[in-house]
């Protein structure tokens, strides 16, 4: 029986798969709950490297998966091309378990919420006119599959993500997988640059993006 590490190593890393995962992470950890396995994944640009060890201080976030979820993810990735439906399924396979456990798996949200003194969190929130409770629907490109709804609450300078829709939202987002990836990518660029000009550019981009994908609940 192959270990989870062996399963990941044996995947043929197609260019479309590498490009897709480049939007999602640079360094992640995986903990397989039912086997106790721990491993790390590093996106090196032209390939993804896997290591049979986990140093949580050296990864952006850690995903808790089961062997069944690992097998499902390996099957989804083991194709030459990744279309929109498969990208959605991979995205859900990676992050749904964390959200179901009310864990925020998105480092871009964590980073934007805990900015260094260069630019204050209060200024960013005022610039972006951010609400403290929002509902996010993720639209499936798979015919007949229902939309997934999650609730994001901003508390104690952190975004808390939980499955389902709770409370009265100040804003409602309806995102395709491309919309979600666009936000993730732009936020990561801003976090990497971490300059006032970089954050102002992100703010202008975000406000344009938000007008397309969301509306205020009282509108």
The per-residue pLDDT of the chain, averaged, comes to 82
The β-bridge relationship of strands 148-155 and 48-51 is unpaired
- Residue whose C-alpha is closest to residue 112's, from 13, 218, 202: 202
Task: Compute the distance between CA of residue 97 and CA of residue 95 in angstroms, rounded to an integer.
Answer: 6
Read off the pLDDT band of 126 (50, 70, 90).
low
Who wins on pLDDT, 212 or 89? 212
* Stretch among 14-18, 30-34, 168-172, 174-178 having the lowest mean pLDDT: 14-18
> Quick check: 80 pLDDT over 80?
no
Task: Compute the distance between CA of residue 188 and CA of residue 97 in angstroms, rounded to an integer.
Answer: 22
Model-wide pTM > 0.85 = no
Task: Compute the distance between CA of residue 118 and CA of residue 102 in angstroms, rounded to an integer.
Answer: 30
* Stretch among 36-50, 78-92, 197-211 having the lowest mean pLDDT: 78-92
Does residue 201 contact residue 190 with C-beta atoms inside 8 Å?
A: yes
Read off the pLDDT band of 118 (50, 70, 90).
very low
Task: Compute the distance between CA of residue 98 and CA of residue 168 in angstroms, rounded to an integer.
Answer: 23
Contacts of 200 (CB under 8 A, 6+ apart): 127
């Amino acid at each position: 029986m192959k270990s989870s590490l062996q399963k990941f190593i044996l995947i043929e890393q197609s260019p479309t798969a590498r490009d897709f995962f480049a939007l999602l992470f640079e360094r992640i950890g995986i903990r397989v709950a039912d086997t106790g396995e721990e491993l790390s994944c590093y996106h090196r640009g032209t390939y993804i490297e896997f290591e049979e060890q986990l140093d949580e201080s050296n990864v952006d976030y850690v995903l808790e998966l089961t062997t069944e979820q690992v097998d499902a993810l390996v099957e989804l990735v083991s194709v030459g091309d990744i279309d929109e439906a498969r990208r959605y399924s991979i995205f859900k396979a990676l992050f749904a378990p964390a959200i179901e456990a009310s864990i925020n798996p998105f480092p871009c949200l964590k980073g934007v919420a805990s900015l260094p003194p260069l630019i204050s969190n209060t200024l960013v929130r005022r610039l972006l006119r951010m609400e403290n409770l929002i509902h996010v629907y993720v639209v499936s490109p798979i015919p007949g599959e229902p939309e997934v709804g999650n609730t994001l609450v901003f508390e104690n300078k952190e975004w808390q993500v939980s499955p389902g829709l709770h409370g009265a939202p100040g804003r409602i987002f309806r995102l395709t997988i491309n919309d979600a990836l666009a936000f993730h990518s732009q936020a990561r660029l801003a976090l990497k640059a971490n300059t006032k000009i970089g954050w102002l550019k992100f703010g202008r981009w975000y406000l344009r993006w938000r007008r397309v994908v969301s509306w205020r609940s009282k509108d």
